[in-house]
Chain A
Amino acid sequence: MADNKNKNTCSCACEFSKGIIKENPLLVLLLGTCPALAVTTSAWDGVGMGLAATFVLVLSNLVISLLRNIIPDRVRIPSYITIIASLVTILQLFLEAYLPDLNKSLGIFIPLITVNCIILGRAEAYANKKPVLPSIFDGLGMGVGFTIALFLIGSIREILGSGSFFNIAIPFVGGDNILQPILIFALPPGGFAIFGLLIAISNKLNAHFYARQPAELMDHEHYPGSIYDYQNTLLEAETRDAILAGGQLDGAFPQIVERKGE
C-alpha cells in the first residue's frame, strides 16, 4: 500500500488484498454459504469450487463494470443475472471438456454459482459504480479470499473425515491403525460444525485486530439473497406489523409508512 498516493482512492493492490482477510466474503461477509457447506468434503473440491467462482466473479465484474453506464437502473438485477448465468454456462462447458472429474464432484453447484450471493453482491456493491481495472482486482481479491476459506474448510474436513489431504492418505491413519478418521466430518453435520467454528474464530480475530463486528461492514441492501438481506426483510416485516397493529411507530419509519398506503 506504499504506492497508494491518493488517499481517497484505494490502489489496485489494496482492492485485491481487502477481499482476502479484512472483508473475506465467506468468513466475514457470510456470502456464498451453500457451496461452502456442500462441496468442501475434500480440499481439492474446495479449491476447485473457489477457482470456478473466481473465474465467474472476475469476468462478471469486468463485463458489468464495462456496461455500467448502458444498463438502465430499473432492469439491472435481471441483466446482471443473465450476464452471470451466461458466464456460468461458459465455465460449465469448459469444465465438462477439460476437467470432467471436478465437474462431476461439484455437480449442480457449478450451475448454482449463478445464484451465489458473492457474485451478484459484488456486482451491486462494487462493479456497477467503479471503473474496470479496480473492479477486476476487487473480483480477483474476493475470489482468492473465497478460495482460501473453502480450502481451509475443505482441508479440515478431509483430514479429520477421510484421513487424507489432497487425496494423499496421511500415514498412521485409517486401515488397520488405531487412529481412524472421524466419519462425521465428511458428512453434512461436519460441514455445519466446521463452518460455524471458523466463523467464530474469524469473529474473534476481527474483534481483536479491527475492533469491529462483521455485521457493521455489511450494507445489506447491496447483497441480495445474503443472510443479512433476509434478516433485514424480517425486521421490516416486524416493524410493518407493529405499525399496522398499534400505529405507535407512526412517523418513525417514513418509507415503511408509505408502503402501508399501497
Chain B
Amino acid sequence: MIDIAKILFTVILLNNIVLSQFLGVCSFLGLTTDLKNSMGMSFAVIFVMVVSSAITQPIFQYLLVPNNLEYLQTVVFILVIASAVQILEAIIKKVFPPLYKGMGIYLPLITTNCAILGIMLVNIQESYTFFESLVNGFGAGVSYMLAMFLFVGVRKKMAQAKIPAFFEGLPAALVAAAIVSVSFNGFKGVLENIFGR
C-alpha cells in the first residue's frame, strides 16, 4: 500500500509530468490560455492515460515478453494508443453524449501528445505491475491537470502585464513556467520525509 501511495504522490508532486519530466509541453503551452479548454483536455488525458495503461501493460507482459519482442514496444504502443483513442471517441459519442461535448474535441489531439506514450514507456521501464501502472497513469493525468490548472491562473495575470513586444506570448509563458516549476522542487524534502529514500 505504501508503495502505491509513493508512486501516486511522487508522480503528482515531485516528478510533475509537465514541469519536471517535460512530457506534453506542447499542449500545456497551447491550451493554458483558457481554463475551460485546459480542464477538458486534462480530463481527456486522465481518461486516456488510465485506459491505455490498462491495455499496454498486459500487452507488454503477456504478449511481447514471452515472444522476445520487447524491441517492438514503441511501434505496438503508439498503434494501441492511436486505436484506443479512436475507439474511445466512438464509444463516448454514442454512450455518453454530455461527456463527449466536454472533452470530445481533445481526444483526436491526444494521439500525438507525448505525455501518453511517455508514461506508457515509464511504466515498462520501472517494471510496474498492472495495478501500479494504473496508479501511475492516473497520477500522471492528475499531475498534468494540476500543472494546467496552476498555469492558467499565472497566464491570466500575465495577460494584464506589460511585456516587451518580442517577449509576448510564448517566451514570457516559458519564463513563467520556469518559476512555477521551481515551486515543485520544494516537495522533494516533504516526500523524502514521509516515504524515506
**Residues of A near any B CB (own CB < 8 A):** 30, 33-35, 37-38, 78, 81-82, 85-86, 88-89, 92-93, 107-108, 111-112, 114-117, 120, 184, 187-193, 195-197, 199-201, 203-204, 207, 224-231, 233-234, 236-238
Contacts and interface: CB of A to CB of B under 8 A. Distances in A.
Contact of B121 (A85, A86, A108, A120): A108
Interface string B173-195: 11101110110010000000000
A192 B75 contact: no
Given A33-B25, A188-B20, A193 B175 contact: yes
Interface stretch (B31-39, B53-61, B134-142): B31-39
B122 interface: yes
A225 B112 contact: yes
Nearest to B173: A196
B167 A200 contact: yes
Given A88-B74, A112-B114, A114-B78, A38 B22 contact: yes
Contacts of B20: 188
A92 B37 contact: no
A230 B112 contact: no
B-side interface mostly:
helix
A93 B74 CA distance: 12
A227 B114 CA distance: 13
A interface, by DSSP: helix, strand, loop or mixed? helix
Interface string B106-136: 1001011110011001100100000000000
B117 A111 contact: yes
Interface in B150-178: 165-167, 170-175, 177-178
A195 B117 CA distance: 23
